[in-house]
Structure formats: C-alpha cells, structure tokens
C-alpha cells in the first residue's frame, strides 16, 4: 500500500491554535492544500477541549494568547496520558533564546517564527507527521513482537511475497525448526503450498485483500518431511506503509488422533478392529446396488460362537474378549483382503461375499470356516476349541435390502442352533420359527405389564469427590414366569420393533416418578438427589411425548427439576433437529437431559453445543479398560474436557475398581456408577441405603 493511498484513507489531523482569525486562516490555507484534515481553536482552553475530542496528529500552537498561553497549554497537554505524545509545534513572534528554551522545557517539539515561510511550514509539518507515524509504528511493532514471543500458539508475520519476517519459538517447534531464527527469511509457501492456477492466487493473497480473518484447518509440511495437522488463523495487519499477514497456528495432532479414535468407533468394532454392523450393512447395500445392474448375487454368512456365554462365565469376560480378538484375527488371515469380515455384536460375526456363485459354494466356504475355528486357540494357559453355528443367505438387489438380508441370515443362524449347533444352514422362506418366537416374546411382554411381572431397580450414582448419592437411575427388570429373570437385552429390541416401547416407557416413567415422590415425602432422600430415566429413540418421536412426561410429574407432584432423562447418541442423531425441539420443550419445563453411553456413537459437536444438556455419561466400554490401556484414559479425558467446555457434568458408567475411580477423579470426572459402589437396588434396598446414610450422618 503506497503512502499516497494511505494518506487518502487516513489523512493526518492538524489542530491549529491561534487567537486571531488571520493567523488561523493563513496557516489553514497553507496546510489544507497539502490534504490534511484541519481542526481549529482560538484560545488555550478551547485548544484542550478540541484536542481531547479529535486527538490530532500534530498541534500548531500560538504562544501569545490571552488566558492560557501557548506555554501553559503545552505543559497541560504533556501531562495528559492520551495526548502527551502528540507533536507540538509552537508558533511565535518571539525569536529570543529564552522563549525557545522555555518552550522546550514545557515539551514543545519544534518552533516556527512569525512571519513564517510557507514552504518551511509545509516541510516542518510533513516531517513531524512522518516522524510521529514512524514512532507509532515502532511502538506497535515492539508491542506485537513481545506478544508474539510470549504467545502459547505458533505466531508469525508474513510479507505479501510469503517471506516470514517474525516467528516465535512455538511456530518453530510446530514446523520442526530448531530455532525461530531458522524460519526468518523462509517462505510460508514451503510449509503450506496452497496455490491456485495463477501464481498470485494463494491463500496469502486472500488474507491480504480481505478485511476478514481467514480460519481453517490444514496440514503443513515440516522441515523433516512429515506433515502436521494445525488449526490456522490469518489476518491482515498494517505494517509500515504496507500490509502483512499475521498467522496464528495451533498443533491439533492429539485432538485429531482422539477424534479419529472416536469416529472410528462409528464404523469399526473397538475390540477386534473389524468393521462393525453399521459399516457392514453399508457394504452389503452397496453390493446389492451393484448386483442389480450386473445380475450377480450377494452372499452373507452370519455366525456366532456356540456356548460363548459359558466361556465368559467360566473364564471371565477378559478371556472372552481375547478369544473374540483371536477369532477375528484368524478369520481375517484366512479370508484375505477382498472379503468383508465384520463383528456384528457380542460373539456374532458376518461375512459379505460378492458374486458367490451359488448357495452351495457359500456352504463350502462356511464348512471351511468351521474347520478353521475348530483348530485350538491358545490363550495364556488355556487351550480352547470352538464350534460355530452359521446362517447363510444369498440374494440380489431387486429382492433385498441390507437389513432384510442380515435378518434372514440371522434367522438361518437361529435354525442352525436349534438343530444342535456347529452347523451351517441356508435360509429359505419356510424358516419362520424365529419370527414365531419373536411374536411369542412380544405377547409375553404385553402380558407382563398386566400381571405385575415387571419391576424397577435403581442404581445409585455417586459423586466421585465425596461419594454422596447424587442420583438414582431407574432400570427395568422382568421376572418371567417360565424363563425367570430376563436381561433387558432379550426384550427391549422386541419392545422397540413392536411399538411396545411406548407403553413400557410410560409405565417405567410413571412408576419411577411415583417411587421418587414417596421417598421424598418419607424424608428418606435429600431433595438434591435426581431421578434418571432412560428414553428410547422411538419414544422421542411421539407427538405426545412431552405431554406424557408433564402429566406423569403433575399427577404425583414431583418437581420437574428432579427428573433427568437419558438418551443415547444414536437416538439424538437419528433426528437432531427434532431432538433439539423436544429438548427445548423439556428444558423449559425444568427437566434435565443427559447423553447415555457417550462415545459409542457419532455426535456432531455443533449440535451438542446447541442442545440444553446437563450431563454426558461415559460408556462402560471406556471405563472398564482404565488402568490397562493408556489410550482409554486419553479418550475419557477428552470426553470430560468436552463436557467441561460445554458446561456439562460427566458421569462414568460401569466403575468396578478403586483404580478406575481414582483415574476418573484425576481427569475431572464428576460422578460414577457401577458395582464398586452399588448394584441396581429394589425399592426396599434403596430405602435401606438412605436410612443407613442418614444414621451415619447423624452419628458423625
């Protein structure tokens, strides 16, 4: 930017102080032709007022004035914290040495003697304006350099041609330079070679031509040839008679690593590293689409380990996990890279085979799999021999969707198990036994609501700091007349698919709220203890959902602020806009909201920040490995920090050891629940828990 351009965009202001009209007009006429902005005052007091208002670049001050003379005005200005550095040129008819000395003593920068030479006046003012501008720039540069050097971020100043003029030590560290001096004189384009078709079309030209800062994420080249992910902001700054780009860079390598781990959990199984159900179904869908056009079939083998629950119960879940990893590794080596092997859930695996030829060829592959897994597995001191049951399905895109194909493979697997296990069965349309069993379970669940077979257990949530009970989570239990105690995993899916989840959810909500109100009225629990109730995705979509909750609270008189609803990440992200709307209504009522099993699904941080949440619940899959895997602690720490940044409390699920609790406290987690503290308790044991705590408190 030229000095001429700068003068047009920001003309210096000259304040002319003279008690005579002739003097002001004469000086003003000379300087106005030079392009300056002019301000005038006709006495000393007015000069101080105008100077405060317009903050001039130079003051031309007549010495001999009534009232406050020029010397006194100069003295006052020099004491002013804002105006003290403004150059002052005194104009006087006094040409004696004593007057000049007095002027310099009170702070004058220069003198012009009346009558003055017009050319001399113009040159003196021009010189003083330039010197003052140069002084201001030096001060700005000095302040900027000091700020740059102490910044915790990588900061640099770059010329329009890309040459780095200033760099701090953090920038040097990010770019792999031994010292910031190594960067001075080098080109920023060597580190971020982002250019367009024209040589001048680069990110740097965008910055220098824009009034707005540029913010982005990028990968920069380091001096050692590696690349580093960074968050980069760049803005145009004035620099002497030109512009520079000031860049601020933050190394986000660790954040990217943790984000990649979290996002990987969306498509890959955390235990085995294999594709998970989500990714598997996506690949099946793509294969079916291709098969529609090419006329080729698609095959799925769906299998699980026979009696895997017995292995877990006898050898422990840790040994069971090791076995699943070993199975995945062996099958991956056997199948090679051109076949998708996925862990669907638990001990269930699936294989996608494009262009399998025929069901006979798929059965041959299944038999080879059975033989592979029949070979012993050596895990520590244990040698295990396995058998698997396998369901096989073959189809084309015009007949199937991915979910339907996996469903039929699962039905065939059920048939294989019902025939004695260690078998492979190809699906055919006559296999409806599993569907019959499904409907039988659904009917039993409907009857259970009427026969009082369902009840609630409450798992306490404890503050990690002092082990106070801060909440109770209501959990559904079913005492089946034939099958005994049934795991929610066996019937919640049935409730979801049949729509029973709405009736079931309403019963859970009403029962838990009623119990909470009774405990409060009996004086058993402190009023700060909250009630947590789990909500499913399907409940969230009902139009009367909010009204149902409002009615349940009103019917017993429980304050809304004591209720906190828990929803999984997937329930929220299935329809984030609808979730945000419902959450807003619930929040307006005073009801708290929590994300359950956080970290096992995919959440948009931008959506989370806009939702009125109170807490994040860290999934037990992260908690259980604390102390044995350093990466798990980093992930938990990241989730806790995310919660803190969003103003949310964090609650860890599945805490079973004191070491896990200590590690959670060390990263700032607020609360925890798990067998270390208490199992889910029926009503009478909840009462006993709080009576014991009241008694202990009274004794202390």
- DSSP summary character for residue 415: H
Q: What's the CA gap between 532 and 461, in Å, rounded?
A: 9
Strands (E), 646-700: 649-652, 671-672
pLDDT at 535 over 60: yes
Q: What's the CA gap between 683 and 94, in Å, rounded?
A: 102
pLDDT at 367 over 80: yes
pLDDT at 527 over 70: yes
* Higher pLDDT, residue 460 or 313: 460
Q: In which band, very low, low, confident or very high, does the pLDDT at 199 lie, cut at 50, 70 and 90?
A: very low
Give the mean model confidence (pLDDT) for residues 14-35. Answer: 88
Q: In which band, very low, low, confident or very high, does the pLDDT at 434 lie, cut at 50, 70 and 90?
A: low
Q: In which band, very low, low, confident or very high, does the pLDDT at 9 lie, cut at 50, 70 and 90?
A: very low
Q: In which band, very low, low, confident or very high, does the pLDDT at 213 lie, cut at 50, 70 and 90?
A: confident
Q: In which band, very low, low, confident or very high, does the pLDDT at 279 lie, cut at 50, 70 and 90?
A: very high
Give the mean model confidence (pLDDT) for residues 412-420. Answer: 76
How large a percentage of the chain has pLDDT more than 70?
90
pLDDT at 135 over 70: no
- Count of alpha carbons within 13 angstroms of residue 310, beta-carbon side: 6
Over residues 376-391, the pLDDT tens digits come to 888 888 888 888 889 9
pLDDT at 602 over 60: no
Residues facing residue 237 across a β-bridge:
244
Which of these, 290, 171, 289, 306, lies nearest to 234 by C-alpha position? 171
β-strands 110-113, 164-167: how paired?
unpaired
Give the mean model confidence (pLDDT) for residues 503-517. Answer: 94
pLDDT score for 258: 81
- Domains along the chain with CATH numbers: 3-142 (3.40.50.2300), 151-251 (3.30.450.20), 263-431 (3.30.70.270), 438-699 (3.20.20.450)
Following DSSP, what letter does each residue of 372-391 receive, concatenated?
A: HHHS-EEETTEEE---EEEE
Give the mean model confidence (pLDDT) for residues 13-23. Answer: 90
Q: In which band, very low, low, confident or very high, does the pLDDT at 50 lie, cut at 50, 70 and 90?
A: very high
**Token pair listed for 89:** 């040129």
pLDDT at 315 over 60: yes
Give the mean model confidence (pLDDT) for residues 18-38. Answer: 88
pLDDT at 6 over 50: no
What's the whole-number average pLDDT of the chain? 85
Give the mean model confidence (pLDDT) for residues 293-313. Answer: 81
Give the lowest-confidence range in 302-316, 339-353, 368-382, 501-515: 302-316
Cα 201 to the center of its chain, rounded Å: 33
pLDDT at 33 over 90: no
pLDDT at 255 over 90: no
Over residues 85-98, the pLDDT tens digits come to 899 988 887 666 77
Give the mean model confidence (pLDDT) for residues 46-58. Answer: 92
pLDDT score for 240: 64
Q: What's the CA gap between 505 and 541, in Å, rounded?
A: 13
Q: What's the CA gap between 404 and 402, in Å, rounded?
A: 5
Give the mean model confidence (pLDDT) for residues 443-458. Answer: 90
Three-state DSSP class for residue 355: coil
pLDDT score for 517: 96
pLDDT score for 341: 94
pLDDT score for 464: 96
Q: In which band, very low, low, confident or very high, does the pLDDT at 8 lie, cut at 50, 70 and 90?
A: very low
pLDDT score for 5: 39
Task: Give the phi and the psi of residue 647 in degrees, each rounded to 5.
Answer: 75, 30
pLDDT score for 41: 93
pLDDT at 529 over 80: yes
Integer angstrom CA distances of residue 164 from 139, 186, 245, 595: 20, 6, 10, 46
pLDDT score for 463: 96
Which of these, 262, 296, 266, lies nearest to 281 by C-alpha position? 266
Q: What's the CA gap between 155 and 148, in Å, rounded?
A: 6
pLDDT at 196 over 70: no
Before 115, cis peptide (omega within 30)? yes
Q: What's the CA gap between 570 and 581, in Å, rounded?
A: 16
Give the mean model confidence (pLDDT) for residues 21-50. Answer: 89
Q: Which are the contacts of 305, defined by CB distance < 8 A and separation ≥ 6? A: 311, 323, 327, 347, 373, 386, 387, 388
Q: In which band, very low, low, confident or very high, does the pLDDT at 148 lie, cut at 50, 70 and 90?
A: low
Q: In which band, very low, low, confident or very high, does the pLDDT at 605 lie, cut at 50, 70 and 90?
A: low
Over residues 654-687, the pLDDT tens digits come to 999 999 999 999 999 999 999 999 999 999 999 9
Q: In which band, very low, low, confident or very high, does the pLDDT at 4 lie, cut at 50, 70 and 90?
A: very low
């Amino acid at each position: 930017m030229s000095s001429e351009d700068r003068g047009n965009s920001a003309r210096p202001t000259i304040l002319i102080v003279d008690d005579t009209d002739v003097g002001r007009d004469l000086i003003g006429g000379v300087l106005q032709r030079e392009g300056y902005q002019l301000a005038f005052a006709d006495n000393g007091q007015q000069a101080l007022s105008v100077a405060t208002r317009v903050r001039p670049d130079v003051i031309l001050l007549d010495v001999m004035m009534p009232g406050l003379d020029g010397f006194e005005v100069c003295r006052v200005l020099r004491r002013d914290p804002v105006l003290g550095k403004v150059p002052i040129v005194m104009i006087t008819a006094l040409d004696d040495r004593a007057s000049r000395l007095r002027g310099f003593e009170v702070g004058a920068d220069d003198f012009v003697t009346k009558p003055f030479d017009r050319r001399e006046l113009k040159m003196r003012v021009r010189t003083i304006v330039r010197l003052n501008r140069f002084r201001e720039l030096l001060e700005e540069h000095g302040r900027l350099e000091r700020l740059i050097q102490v910044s915790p971020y990588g900061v640099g100043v770059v010329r329009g041609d890309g040459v780095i003029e200033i760099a701090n030590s953090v920038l040097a560290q990010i770019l792999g330079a031994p010292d910031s001096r190594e960067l001075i004189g080098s080109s920023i384009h060597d580190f971020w070679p982002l250019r367009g078709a024209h040589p001048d079309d680069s990110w740097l030209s965008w910055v220098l031509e824009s009034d707005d800062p540029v913010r982005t994420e990028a990968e920069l080249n380091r001096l050692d040839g590696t690349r580093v992910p960074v968050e980069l902001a760049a803005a145009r700054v004035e620099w002497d008679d030109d512009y520079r780009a000031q860049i601020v860079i933050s190394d986000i390598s660790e954040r990217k690593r943790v984000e990649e781990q979290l996002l990987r959990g969306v498509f890959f199984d955390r235990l085995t590293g294999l594709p998970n159900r989500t990714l598997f179904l996506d690949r099946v869908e793509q294969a079916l689409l291709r098969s529609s056009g090419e006329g080729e079939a698609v095959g799925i083998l769906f299998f699980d380990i026979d009696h895997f629950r017995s292995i877990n119960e006898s050898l422990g879940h840790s040994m069971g996990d090791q076995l699943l990893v070993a199975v995945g590794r062996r099958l991956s080596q056997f199948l090679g890279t051109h076949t998708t092997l996925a862990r669907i859930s638990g001990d269930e695996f699936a294989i996608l085979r494009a262009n399998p030829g025929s069901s006979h060829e798929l059965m041959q592959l299944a038999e080879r799999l059975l033989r592979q897994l029949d070979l012993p597995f050596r895990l520590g001191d244990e040698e295990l021999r396995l058998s698997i049951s396998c369901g096989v399905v073959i189809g084309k895109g015009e007949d199937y969707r991915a979910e339907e194909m996996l469903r039929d493979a699962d039905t065939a697997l059920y048939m294989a198990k019902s025939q004695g296990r260690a078998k492979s069965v190809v699906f055919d349309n006559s296999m409806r036994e599993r569907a019959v069993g499904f409907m039988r379970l659904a009917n039993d669940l409907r009857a259970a609501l009427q026969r009082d077979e369902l009840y609630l257990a409450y798992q306490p949530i404890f503050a990690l700091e002092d082990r106070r009970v801060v909440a109770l989570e209501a959990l559904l239990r079913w005492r089946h007349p034939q099958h005994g105690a049934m795991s929610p995993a066996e019937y919640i899916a049935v409730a979801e698919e049949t729509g029973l989840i709405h009736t079931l959810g309403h019963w859970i909500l009403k029962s838990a709220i009623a119990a909470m109100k009774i405990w409060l009225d009996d004086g058993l629990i402190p009023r700060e203890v909250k009630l947590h109730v789990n909500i499913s995705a399907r409940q969230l979509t009902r139009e009367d959902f909010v009204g149902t909750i409002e009615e349940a609270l009103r019917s017993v008189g429980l304050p809304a602020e004591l209720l906190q609803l828990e929803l999984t990440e997937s329930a929220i992200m299935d329809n984030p806009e609808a979730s945000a709307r419902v959450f807003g209504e619930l929040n307006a009522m005073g009801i708290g909201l929590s994300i359950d099993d956080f970290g096992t699904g995919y959440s948009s941080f931008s959506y989370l920040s806009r939702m009125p949440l109170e807490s994040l619940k860290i999934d037990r899959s992260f908690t259980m490995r604390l102390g044995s895997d350093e990466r798990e602690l980093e992930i938990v720490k990241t989730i806790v920090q995310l919660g803190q940044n969003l103003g949310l409390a964090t609650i860890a699920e599945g805490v079973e050891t004191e070491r896990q609790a200590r590690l959670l406290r060390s990263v700032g987690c607020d609360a925890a629940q798990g067998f270390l503290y208490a199992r889910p308790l029926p009503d009478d044991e909840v009462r006993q828990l709080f009576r014991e705590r009241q008694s202990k408190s009274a004794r202390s």
